[in-house]
Structure 1
Amino acid sequence: MNEFSFIDKSLATVFITLFVVALGFGVILPVLPFFTERLALGEGVSSDQITFHIGFLTSVYPFFQMLFAPLWGRWSDRVGRKSLMLMGIAGFVAMQLLIGVATSIWLLYLARIIGGIFTSAIIPVGYALISDLTSADKRSLGIALGGTSYSLGVVVGPFIGGLLSQRDWHWNLEWGHFLINGYSIPFFFLAIIGLLLFPLINKGLQNGVFLLAEKPKRSRGATWYQIVRDLFPLLFLSFIYQIALTLFEAVFSIFSKNELQYNAVTIGYGFMVCALVMALLQPLVVSTRIKKIISGRKQITLGFGIFGVGVLLLLLTDQLLYVFLFIGLLAAGGAFITPNVTSLISLKGEKVAGEALGIQKSTDSLGQVIGPIIGSWLLTLNTFLPYLLTGIMVLLVAGYLLISKKFMTVYGSD
Structure 2
Amino acid sequence: MKKTIKEQNAALIILLSNVFIAFLGIGLIIPVMPSFMDIMHLSGKTMGYLVAVFAVAQLLMSPLAGRWVDRYGRKKMIIIGLFLFGISELIFGLGTNVLMLYISRILGGISAAFIMPGVTAYVADITSIQERPRAMGYISAAISTGFIIGPGIGGFIAEYGVRMPFFFAAAVAFLACLSSIFILKEPLTKEQLAEISANTKQTNFISDLKRSLNSLYFIAFIIVFVLAFGLSAYETVFSLFSDHKFGFTPKDIATIITISSIFGVVVQVFMFGKMVDILGEKKLIQLCLITGAILAVASTVISSFLAVLVVTCFIFLAFDLLRPALTTFLSKAAGKEQGFVAGMNSTYTSLGNIVGPAMGGILFDVNIHYPYLFAAVIMVIGLGITVMWQEKQFAERLAE
Task: Name the TM-score, length of structure 2 as normaliser.
Answer: 0.91
Deviation of the 1:285 alpha carbon: 3.9
Structure 1 SS opposite 2:54: helix
Name 1:130's counterpart in structure 2.
123
Q: For the residues of structure 2 that align with 1:384 and 1:341, how far apart are their CA atoms?
A: 28
Deviation of the 1:410 alpha carbon: 3.9
Structure 2 SS opposite 1:375: helix
Give, as a single letter, the amino acid of the residue that structure 2 aligns with 1:267.
I
Deviation of the 1:105 alpha carbon: 2.3
Contact 1:227 1:349 in 2 (8 A): no
- 1:8-407 residue pairs with structure 2 within 5 A? 8-40=9-41, 50-165=43-158, 167=159, 169=160, 182-207=161-186, 209=187, 212=190, 214-215=192-193, 216-218=195-197, 219=199, 221=201, 224=208, 225-229=210-214, 230-287=216-273, 289-401=274-386, 404=387, 406-407=389-390
Distance 1:398 1:220, change over 3 A: closer
Deviation of the 1:343 alpha carbon: 1.1
Return 216-225 or 136-145, whichever deviates more. Answer: 216-225
Distance 1:405 1:105, change over 3 A: closer
Give, as a single letter, the amino acid of the residue that structure 1 aligns with 2:305.
L
Return 235-244 or 62-71, whichever deviates more. Answer: 62-71
Structure 1 SS opposite 2:247: coil
Contact 1:242 1:367 in 2 (8 A): yes
Q: For the residues of structure 1 that align with 2:125 and 2:384, how far apart are their CA atoms?
A: 33
Give, as a single letter, the amino acid of the residue that structure 1 aligns with 2:196.
K
Give, as a single letter, the amino acid of the residue that structure 2 aligns with 1:263.
T
Return 315-324 or 274-283, whichever deviates more. Answer: 274-283
| Deviations 1:157-180 (CA, angstroms, capped at 9, x unpaired) | 111111111x1x3xxxxxxxxxxx
Gap runs ≥5 in structure 1: 42-49, 170-181
Gap runs ≥5 in structure 2: none
Contact 1:93 1:195 in 2 (8 A): yes
| Deviations 1:86-133 (CA, angstroms, capped at 9, x unpaired) | 111111111111111112222212211111112220011111111111
Q: For the residues of structure 2 that align with 1:274 and 1:60, how far apart are their CA atoms?
A: 28
Deviation of the 1:211 alpha carbon: 5.2
Q: For the residues of structure 2 that align with 1:153 and 1:409, how far apart are their CA atoms?
A: 37
Contact 2:133 2:272 in 1 (8 A): yes
| Deviations 1:37-63 (CA, angstroms, capped at 9, x unpaired) | 31026xxxxxxxx11112111222111
Contact 1:40 1:104 in 2 (8 A): no
| Deviations 1:199-254 (CA, angstroms, capped at 9, x unpaired) | 310222114x2555522424265852334424111100100111000000001011
Q: For the residues of structure 1 that align with 2:47 and 2:63, how far apart are their CA atoms?
A: 27
Quick one: percent identity of the two aligned structures? 25
Task: Name the TM-score, length of structure 1 as normaliser.
Answer: 0.88
Q: How many residues align?
A: 386
Deviation of the 1:278 alpha carbon: 2.8
Return 349-358 or 267-276, whichever deviates more. Answer: 267-276
Deviation of the 1:405 alpha carbon: 5.6
Q: For the residues of structure 2 that align with 1:35 and 1:228, how far apart are their CA atoms?
A: 42
Distance 1:255 1:363, change over 3 A: same
Structure 2 SS opposite 1:294: helix
Contact 2:296 2:376 in 1 (8 A): yes
Contact 1:303 1:335 in 2 (8 A): no
Q: For the residues of structure 2 that align with 1:282 and 1:302, how far apart are their CA atoms?
A: 15
Contact 2:117 2:342 in 1 (8 A): yes
Structure 2 SS opposite 1:317: coil
Give, as a single letter, the amino acid of the residue that structure 2 aligns with 1:185.
M
Distance 1:85 1:390, change over 3 A: same
Q: For the residues of structure 2 that align with 1:66 and 1:132, how far apart are their CA atoms?
A: 24
Contact 1:309 1:395 in 2 (8 A): no
Structure 2 SS opposite 1:303: helix
| Deviations 1:310-341 (CA, angstroms, capped at 9, x unpaired) | 21111111211111110111112123311111
